[in-house]
Amino acid sequence: MIDQQKYSRLLLTGAGGGLGKVLRERLLPYANVLRVSDRIDVGPANTAEEVVTCDLADKDAVDQLVRGSDAVAHFGGISLEDRFEPILQSNIVGVFNLYEAVRKHGVKRVVFASSNHVTGFYKQSEKIDVDSPMRPDTLYGLSKCFGENLSRFYFDRYGIETVCLRIGSSFPVVKDRRMLATYLSYDDLVELVRCALFAPNAGHTVIFGASDNSTMWWDNRKAAHLGFKPKDTSDVQRVRVEAANPPLDPSNPVGIFQGGAFVCAGPFDD
C-alpha cells in the first residue's frame, strides 16, 4: 500500500524518449531525487536528478540501476513496430530484467508504460474494457502483452504492485481522426502517472490512457480506484482535424481497427 505523495528516489526509465522527456521535466515534484535513465545520452543531471546510462538488456546494469529506488516509472524500450530481435532485447528481456531487479531490491510499486496496441485488433466500432482479451496488432503490441502478464505474475507471486498504462496517443496536438479517440494530453499523461504512483492499494491494475474524449473505445470503470480524472479533450480540435483529414476508405484496415496504421506495419525483411 502506498500512502504518500513523494518518494525518496523515483526511477524513470526511457528518459530520452518522447514521453520520457515530458515526464523528466514534470515528475520531479514527486521525488526527492529523480533517477533518469536511457541507453542513449540524456545529458547532464539537473538539480535533484541522477543520470544513469543503461541498456535494459544488460541484467547486471539494470540491477544497479534499480538499487536504491523506491518506485519505478518504466517508460524504457522500443515504442514502435520493429524486427523481433530488438523488441525481444528491449521489451521482453529488458522488462524481465527490470522486474527481477525490482524483486531483489524490494521495490513495491511500478508504473508500466504499456500500450493501446495490446488490443489493436478490436474494431473502432467496438468498446472494450481491461478484461477484454488481448488482441495485439504488432510484435511491439505483443511485447507489451508480455510485460502486462509478467507484472501480473510478479504481483501474484511477490506482491509487487503495478499499474499498466495502455497509453493511447500522447502528443501536443491531435494529428488525425483516429487520435480523436486515443488522444492523451501531456497534462493528463502526467496526472495518470501521478495517480498510478500514489494510489493506495493499486494491486495489479490496467487502465487505458486517454483524455476525456467524446469518441472513446475504452471503458476504464474497473480502474476507477486509481482516481484518474482527465481534464483535457480532443473535442476542441475536432473541426481542424476532420477538415485536414478526409475519411478513409471503409475497406482500409487503418480505419477499421483500433490499432490504426500499426495493424499494417511490417513485416521487416532482413
Cβ partners under 8 Å of residue 62, min gap 6: 54, 56, 94, 97, 98, 100, 101
3-state SS, residue 169: strand
User: Active site residue: 140, 154, 158, 183, which one?
Assistant: 140
User: Quick check: is 140 catalytic?
Assistant: yes
Q: Which residue range(s) make up the domain with 88?
A: 7-264
Q: What is the CATH number of the domain that holds 96?
A: 3.40.50.720
168 φ/ψ angles, rounded to the nearest 5 degrees: -80, -110
Return the pLDDT at 1. Answer: 58
The pLDDT of 103-124, averaged and rounded, is 98
Among 182, 198, 195, 190, smallest CA distance to 237 is for 182
pLDDT at residue 127 greater than cutoff 80: yes
Among 17-31, 63-77, 193-207, 255-269, where is mean pLDDT lowest? Answer: 255-269
Would you say residue 43 lies in a domain?
Answer: yes
pLDDT at residue 269 greater than cutoff 80: no
Would you say residue 133 lies in a domain?
Answer: yes
Would you say residue 101 lies in a domain?
Answer: yes
pLDDT at residue 158 greater than cutoff 90: yes
Q: What is the mean pLDDT of the chain?
A: 96
Q: Are 184 and 210 in contact (CB under 8 A)?
A: yes
pLDDT at residue 183 greater than cutoff 90: yes
pLDDT bin (cut points 50, 70, 90) of residue 270 is low
pTM: 0.96
Would you say residue 34 lies in a domain?
Answer: yes
Return the pLDDT at 255. Answer: 96
Q: How many structural domains is the chain composed of?
A: 1
Would you say residue 269 lies in a domain?
Answer: no
Return the pLDDT at 4. Answer: 73
Would you say residue 208 lies in a domain?
Answer: yes
Query: What are the DSSP E strand ranges found in the chain?
Result: 7-13, 31-38, 49-53, 71-74, 109-115, 128-129, 161-167, 204-209, 218-219
The pLDDT of 235-264, averaged and rounded, is 96
Would you say residue 117 lies in a domain?
Answer: yes
